[in-house]
Amino acid sequence: MNWKERIILLLLASVNFTHILDFMVMMPLGNFLMPYFHISPQQFSVVVASYSISAALSGFTAAFFVDRFDRKRVLLLGYTGFIIGTICCGIAPSFGLLLAARVVAGLFGGLIGAQVLSIVADTFAYERRGQAMGILFSAFSLASIIGVPLALYLASRFGWHYPFFLIGGLGIIIIPLIMRYLRPMTGHIHSGVRVKPMAVLQQVFSNRMQLVALSLSGSLMLGHFLIIPFLNPYMEFNVGFTDDQRNLIYMVGGLATFVASPLIGKLADRYGKHATFNFFALLSLIPIFLITNMPAIKYYYVLIVTGVWFVLSTGRGIPAQAIISNVVPPEQRGSFMSFNGCIQQMFTGIASLVAGVIVIKQPDNTIQHYSWVGYLSMFIVLGCILIARRLGRMPLQPAKA
């Protein structure tokens, strides 16, 4: 990997870091935002959901035309709008304007993820893409280790506005660096293959390989995010964690994945994406079972289990994204990855709803039926292995003019 490729990956990882941090920090900020704006938990959940919904809608809309433009320009447009929306969140004087700012941030943020993945896929050959995806995924780890704790410290020390100002300030630094160091990405435009906007959706639904890839992406998000919504309350009320100990779950897990992500990417390139995915998916069943059936034990044992779970979940995601990004030719990749982003947003929300239906909260705040959520997650992960195996047997279909 030469220095130009390293700069591109560093910039894209920085974009991912701020983008992910904006999403991750919203839930903990509820303790600050609800009393400040005098809103109910239901109203706060609308603020949180507004970003995902608007991002999914913009990503879906962009899929019909995004491959007609330079990927660098689309990324700059989306990221600039996202940063402006995030800064507006920090200065919002009312609940209504905060909600509007989150919608704006989501509308532009919905363009970011697909463009980042498409640029990586266009820049790195499939044989080297696993390592590139591993570095890209390290942004999630850094957001867990550094971003969220720092943002919450700023909120408690100076006020809830400052986490948004932190993200906005980083974005103001990153934007000119993207303009300078990221070259125009127009190879897909000059490939000679053109797809009419209205035919994009038809191509996805008529291409079995793309449908299977989208089902793999959605199933992975569903299986993973079934565990997330009730992890904190289960650890507090059932296992007996304190606030500081619960924060350690994300710090330890983030640190572990930060170290492991590049190694996982190299393993995927060396031993094959499908073999690496199957290996980590099978191993991840063990911590899923242990977490969702956890008794009241010493917290450092729990940190070991959750840390391993973070690493193994990342071990599924890195080769899976490399596999999914390869099911379409470059001239269709931006559109397809936009659909992929929509599917991920959708199934993340579905996972939370499903977990909420299954789990029961007792009068003493303890969580019941969390183990059922774990069993369902394990079943879905096993299904992902079968989907990935089917995907590996399908030949890449050429683009249609």
Burial degree of 201 (CB within 10 A; 0-12, 13-18, 19+): middle
In this structure, the answer to whether residues 176 and 222 fall within a common structural domain is no
Is there a domain that residue 95 lies in?
yes
Please report whether residue 195 resides in a domain: no
How far, CA to CA in Å, does 327 sit from each of 60, 313, 340, 398? 18, 22, 12, 10
For residue 4, give the CATH number of its domain. Answer: 1.20.1250.20
Tell me: do 119 and 2 sit in the same domain.
Answer: yes
Q: How many domains, in total, are found in the chain?
A: 2
User: In terms of domains, do 134 and 221 share one?
Assistant: no
Model pLDDT for residues 208-233, shown as the tens digit of each residue = 888 898 999 999 988 988 887 777 77
Q: Same domain for 19 and 142?
A: yes
Question: Is residue 400, in this structure, part of any structural domain at all?
Answer: no
Task: Identify the pLDDT of residue 204.
Answer: 74
- Mark whether 211 and 142 lie in a shared domain: no
Q: Is residue 188 part of a domain?
A: no
**Residues 355, 273 share a domain:** yes
Same domain, 172 and 54: yes
Distances (CA, A) of 319 to 130, 155, 331, 372, 385: 6, 36, 22, 28, 12
Q: In this predicted structure, what is the pLDDT of residue 278? A: 94
163 and 247 assigned to the same domain: no
Residue 91 covered by a domain = yes
- Which residue among 182, 215, 241 closes a domain? 182
Q: 210 in a domain, yes or no?
A: yes
Does a structural domain hold residue 230? yes
Tell which of 182, 212, 247 closes a domain: 182
Q: Running along the chain, 401 residues long, what does each successive block of 10 average in pLDDT?
A: 79 89 77 80 72 82 75 90 95 93 91 81 73 73 77 84 94 93 71 58 78 91 83 79 72 83 85 91 96 86 91 90 79 71 78 77 79 95 93 58 37
3-state SS of the chain is: CCHHHHHHHHHHHHHHHHHHHHHHCCCCCHHHHHHHHCCCHHHHHHHHHHHHHHHHHHHHHHCCCHHHCCHHHHHHHHHHHHHHHHHHHHHCCCHHHHHHHHHHHHHHHCCHHHHHHHHHHHHCCHHHHHHHHHHHHHHHHHHHHHHHHHHHHHHHHHCCHHHHHHHHHHHHHHHHHHHHHCCCCCCCCCCCCCCCHHHHHHHHHHCHHHHHHHHHHHHHHHHHHCCCCCHHHHHHHHHCCCHHHHHHHHHHHHHHHHHHHHHHHHHHHHHCHHHHHHHHHHHHHHHHHHHHCCCCCCHHHHHHHHHHHHHHHHHHHHHHHHHHHCCCCHHHHHHHHHHHHHHHHHHHHHHHHHHHHHCEECCCCCEECHHHHHHHHHHHHHHHHHHHHHHHCCCCCCCCC
Give the pLDDT score at 400: 43
pLDDT of residue 394: 66
For residue 175, the model assigns a pLDDT of 94
Q: Are residues 178 and 207 in the same domain?
A: no
Give the domain extent around 379.
Answer: 203-393
Q: Give the global pTM.
A: 0.71
Instruction: From 267, 325, 337, 391, select the one nearest 121 (Cα to Cα).
Output: 325
pLDDT of residue 56: 81
Q: Is residue 398 part of a domain?
A: no
17 and 147 in one domain? yes
> 49 and 128 share a domain?
yes
Pick the last residue of a domain from 122, 153, 182. 182
Calpha distance 218→206 (Å, rounded): 18
Instruction: Say whether both 157 and 14 belong to one domain.
Output: yes
Structure tokens at 367: 């969580």
